[in-house]
Amino acid sequence: MLPKQYRATSKEMRLVLRRGKFFRYNGLKLVWAKLLETGTPHVGFIVSSKVEKTAVVRKRIKRCLRHAALSTIDVFTPSFGYVVVVEQKLHPTTSQFAEALFKELFAALKK
Protein backbone atom coordinates (compact mmCIF):
# COMPACT_ATOMS: atom_id res chain seq x y z
CA MET A 1 0.00 0.00 0.00
CA LEU A 2 1.22 3.47 -0.87
CA PRO A 3 1.85 5.50 2.31
CA LYS A 4 -0.36 8.55 2.82
CA GLN A 5 2.54 10.97 2.34
CA TYR A 6 2.86 9.82 -1.28
CA ARG A 7 -0.85 9.73 -2.19
CA ALA A 8 -2.32 12.48 -4.35
CA THR A 9 -5.62 13.99 -3.25
CA SER A 10 -8.41 14.50 -5.77
CA LYS A 11 -7.70 18.25 -5.74
CA GLU A 12 -4.02 17.63 -6.56
CA MET A 13 -4.98 15.17 -9.29
CA ARG A 14 -7.30 17.73 -10.93
CA LEU A 15 -4.51 20.33 -10.77
CA VAL A 16 -1.98 17.96 -12.32
CA LEU A 17 -4.38 16.90 -15.08
CA ARG A 18 -5.24 20.52 -15.87
CA ARG A 19 -1.73 22.04 -15.80
CA GLY A 20 0.61 19.14 -16.31
CA LYS A 21 2.71 17.78 -19.11
CA PHE A 22 2.11 14.24 -20.26
CA PHE A 23 3.85 11.28 -21.81
CA ARG A 24 2.19 8.18 -23.29
CA TYR A 25 3.83 4.79 -23.28
CA ASN A 26 2.54 1.24 -23.68
CA GLY A 27 -1.08 1.90 -22.67
CA LEU A 28 -0.22 4.31 -19.84
CA LYS A 29 -0.36 8.08 -19.75
CA LEU A 30 1.86 9.76 -17.18
CA VAL A 31 0.92 13.35 -16.33
CA TRP A 32 3.13 15.45 -14.03
CA ALA A 33 3.16 18.99 -12.67
CA LYS A 34 4.95 20.96 -9.95
CA LEU A 35 3.09 21.16 -6.62
CA LEU A 36 3.87 24.02 -4.25
CA GLU A 37 3.59 22.81 -0.65
CA THR A 38 4.82 19.23 -0.84
CA GLY A 39 8.31 17.93 -0.22
CA THR A 40 7.50 14.44 -1.42
CA PRO A 41 6.14 13.23 -4.76
CA HIS A 42 2.38 12.64 -4.81
CA VAL A 43 1.07 9.88 -7.06
CA GLY A 44 -2.51 9.16 -8.16
CA PHE A 45 -4.03 6.57 -10.47
CA ILE A 46 -7.03 6.61 -12.82
CA VAL A 47 -8.51 3.49 -14.41
CA SER A 48 -11.63 4.27 -16.41
CA SER A 49 -14.61 1.98 -16.77
CA LYS A 50 -13.95 2.21 -20.51
CA VAL A 51 -10.76 0.24 -19.92
CA GLU A 52 -12.36 -2.43 -17.72
CA LYS A 53 -16.06 -2.80 -16.93
CA THR A 54 -15.81 -4.56 -13.57
CA ALA A 55 -14.73 -2.60 -10.51
CA VAL A 56 -12.89 -5.60 -9.10
CA VAL A 57 -10.43 -5.67 -12.00
CA ARG A 58 -10.05 -1.86 -12.02
CA LYS A 59 -9.15 -1.93 -8.32
CA ARG A 60 -6.70 -4.77 -8.91
CA ILE A 61 -4.96 -2.76 -11.64
CA LYS A 62 -4.72 0.24 -9.27
CA ARG A 63 -3.32 -1.93 -6.46
CA CYS A 64 -0.65 -3.36 -8.78
CA LEU A 65 0.30 0.10 -10.00
CA ARG A 66 0.43 1.47 -6.43
CA HIS A 67 2.76 -1.35 -5.42
CA ALA A 68 4.97 -0.65 -8.44
CA ALA A 69 5.00 3.08 -7.63
CA LEU A 70 6.05 2.35 -4.06
CA SER A 71 8.95 0.17 -5.16
CA THR A 72 10.12 2.81 -7.66
CA ILE A 73 9.33 5.91 -5.55
CA ASP A 74 12.96 7.11 -5.74
CA VAL A 75 12.51 7.74 -9.49
CA PHE A 76 9.77 10.33 -8.87
CA THR A 77 10.90 13.95 -8.43
CA PRO A 78 10.10 15.50 -5.01
CA SER A 79 7.50 18.32 -4.92
CA PHE A 80 5.86 17.06 -8.10
CA GLY A 81 2.44 15.52 -8.56
CA TYR A 82 1.98 12.54 -10.84
CA VAL A 83 -1.17 10.97 -12.25
CA VAL A 84 -0.99 7.64 -14.05
CA VAL A 85 -3.94 7.15 -16.40
CA VAL A 86 -4.50 3.64 -17.72
CA GLU A 87 -5.70 3.95 -21.32
CA GLN A 88 -5.61 0.30 -22.37
CA LYS A 89 -6.25 -2.97 -20.62
CA LEU A 90 -3.13 -4.29 -18.88
CA HIS A 91 -2.37 -8.01 -19.07
CA PRO A 92 -1.24 -9.64 -16.90
CA THR A 93 -2.16 -7.58 -13.85
CA THR A 94 0.64 -8.55 -11.50
CA SER A 95 2.88 -6.37 -9.38
CA GLN A 96 6.04 -7.56 -11.13
CA PHE A 97 4.54 -6.69 -14.52
CA ALA A 98 3.48 -3.24 -13.29
CA GLU A 99 6.90 -2.61 -11.75
CA ALA A 100 8.63 -3.51 -15.03
CA LEU A 101 6.17 -1.27 -16.88
CA PHE A 102 7.00 1.66 -14.56
CA LYS A 103 10.72 1.18 -15.10
CA GLU A 104 10.21 1.10 -18.88
CA LEU A 105 8.01 4.18 -18.67
CA PHE A 106 10.63 6.24 -16.83
CA ALA A 107 13.44 4.92 -19.01
CA ALA A 108 11.51 6.00 -22.12
CA LEU A 109 10.71 9.35 -20.49
CA LYS A 110 14.41 10.08 -19.86
CA LYS A 111 15.25 9.58 -23.58
The pLDDT of 28-41, averaged and rounded, is 88
User: The pTM is what?
Assistant: 0.86
Strand order in the sheet with 42-47: 21-25, 28-34, 80-86, 42-47
3-class SS at 4? helix
* pLDDT tens column, 54-76: 999 888 888 888 888 888 888 88
Average pLDDT over residues 79-83: 93
The helix (H) or strand (E) run that includes residue 81 is strand 80-86
Contact between 5 and 80 under an 8 Å Cβ cutoff? The reply is no
